[in-house]
Amino acid sequence: MAPKPDIYTRVTEKIIADLEAGTRPWHKPWSAEHLAGRITRPLRHNGVAYRGLNIILLWAASVANGYAVPTWMTYRQALELGGQVRKGSRGEMVIYADKLRRTETDDAGQDREVEIPFMKGYTVFNVEMIHGLPEHYYAAVEPMPETAERDAIAEAFFATTEADIRHGGNQAYYAVDPDYVQIPPFKTFETPEAYYATLGHEITHWTRHPKRLDRSFGRKRWGDEGYAQEELVAELGAAFLAADLSLAPEPRDEHAAYIAHWLQGLRNDKRFIFQAAAHAQKAVDYLHGLQTQPDEAAA
């Protein structure tokens, strides 16, 4: 019997297949028609949002199956809530990473605590596969009123980072040595969502500066593997931010070129996507941390 593929291989193969099919698995897959729809990260049964790579895995499953509800739970959790997974339903794998701690005796005969990292996968089911749950899991929300063209929440979020954001020209990029973000004027974008997605991408790059998260991946030149890894981190970071700010992520113009780099990296290193998702989550956490004002932190 052939050995069962490990979690890294299974996840990587799934994401490669999605990319080769032309699907960005981190693209927001559902509308805001559900009560939980304003929070566009996938949610656990208790309303807590998933993080890191699990966001990508469950977004991809929602795209593939057309789920409109962002909530997921295990078979046991469904039973505890009075629900029942429909017969024949196939769940989705999510991952759980932690460390085992144990005492070992070293060569000098001294006991010391060691940490052993591990990762395991488990299965969750979308609420749309489950019947009999409390009504709020299925409740729809009232239509949202028309909003202003600029998004006040997103504007405040990016302003609070105090990043040097310069508007003008027809290119979007982050310049690491002078440490500023360049982005075309708001009015030149086809949609507000495209503007904020592009800004989110560049702001994620901004977090890599040595005085912030000091992220380089050994990048030496445009187009190398370090470049591809950083671009994937920025794309995932932009998608995570779009979810947190209730915006729809938009593909960037150079997306097709990036995919070629991502696929090469994914094929060469099965941990590529795990590392990128972890760095993207760390970048987004850093940006959220900047939202706390000093007087609030002291309260």
Structure tokens at 290: 């900047």
Structure confidence at residue 258 (pLDDT): 67
Specify the DSSP class assigned to residue 215.
Answer: -
Dmax over CA atoms of the chain, in Å, equals 70
CA distance linking residue 142 with residue 133, whole number of Å: 21
Residue 32: what pLDDT?
44
Q: Which of 82, 77, 27, 26 is nearest to 56 (CA)?
A: 26
pLDDT of the residue at 249: 66
Alpha helices (H) along 139-224: 152-160, 192-206
Q: How far apart are CA 45 and CA 67, in angstroms?
A: 15
Cβ neighbourhood burial of 49 (10 Å; 0-12, 13-18, 19+): middle
Quick one: pLDDT at residue 246? 83
Residue 105 bridge partners (DSSP): 111
CA distance 80 to 149: 44
Residue numbers of the chain with a pLDDT score lower than 50: 1-2, 29-32, 39, 143-148, 294-299
* The pLDDT of residue 223: 59
pTM score:
0.73
* pLDDT value at residue 27: 61
pLDDT for 4: 55
Q: Give the pLDDT of residue 225.
A: 73
Interatomic CA distance for residues 49 and 51, integer angstroms = 6
DSSP assignment letter at 3: P
pLDDT of residue 36: 52
> Do residues 258 and 26 touch, judged by C-beta distance below 8 A?
no
Give the number of other Cβ atoms within 10 Å of residue 25's Cβ: 23
| Beta carbons of 121 and 93 less than 8 angstroms apart | yes
Query: Nearest 5°: phi and psi at 137?
Result: -70, -20
> Alpha-carbon Rg of the chain, whole angstroms?
21
What one-letter code names the amino acid at 199?
L
What is the reported pLDDT for 131? 94
